[in-house]
Chain A
């Protein structure tokens, strides 16, 4: 499976994402820069976390309007798998590839800790390596992870199984509506999540709870 990682000024989890994809897929991902208008022929595109464009205007707002994101949208429309983590999630939402918005944490504080996630839908291409309802651990590190969607959108997300990850056991770190931590688009090939599964993929990280997400998306897990 070939993958690509989108690079934008101000991202800082790009090396973590590249390392995770390299270790799990066995191949180093291609990298694409913000001004690139074409993305190589890959099966998976990852948008890492960080603070693209200094979070100016709104988190992910300026990144979402860079040329590379038009290329990501074209690939997503063709069915290529796309994962956005943290700032990558914010970028996907701002680009209109995922519904809703990510607002300032209700505590107004930056949160950097480990949370528990419930696999709210194990029947997606990103979660088929987990059990339904399984609780996994994942680090979070963000200031604007408070997911919001209007009632109609929320009802659709819940009804269609598009809520994939939920903060579990009272660990919601940001006030996110319905404890939403990650969602997929209606076609099921674009995932956005605030937690950082790429930072929990091997023993040296203290666990590998995030590994099955990448194995699932890369077609390695059953």
Chain B
């Protein structure tokens, strides 16, 4: 089983890296770029086959390590 976890900054948390990327895209001549927010993606291979257990485990992984829930949200997708 393969899973993808996406970690993004919560709304209201300033993202200076996203801002710098936004300016760089404009500098490259891309018109019409609005706000850019950057984040992280984790691709995780799981050996089990129980999807419900995997989902619970992945959420626990996010809460305990992969995301800092003070400033970040996460989304779990299982392929």
Contact = CB atoms under 8 A, between A and B. Distances in A.
A48 to B, nearest CB: 22
B26 to A, nearest CB: 16
B53 interface: no
Given A148-B71, A150-B70, A108 B65 contact: no
Contact of A106 (B12, B13, B14, B68): B14
A111 to B, nearest CB: 13
Interface in B1-36: 12-14, 16-17, 20
B78 to A, nearest CB: 21
Contact of A57 (B13, B16, B17, B66): B66
Nearest to B16: A106
Contacts of A175: 14, 16
B68 A94 contact: yes
B79 to A, nearest CB: 23
Given A101-B71, A149-B70, A175-B16, 11 more contacts: A57-B66, A61-B65, A62-B65, A93-B70, A94-B68, A103-B13, A103-B16, A106-B14, A108-B17, A148-B70, A148-B71
Interface of A: 57-58, 61-62, 65, 93-94, 99-101, 103-108, 146, 148-150, 175
Interface of B: 12-14, 16-17, 20, 64-66, 68, 70-71
The 5 lowest CB-CB distance pairs between A and B, nearest first, are A101-B70, A101-B71, A106-B16, A108-B16, A101-B68
11 contacts: A58-B68, A61-B68, A62-B65, A65-B65, A99-B70, A101-B68, A103-B13, A103-B16, A104-B17, A105-B16, A148-B70
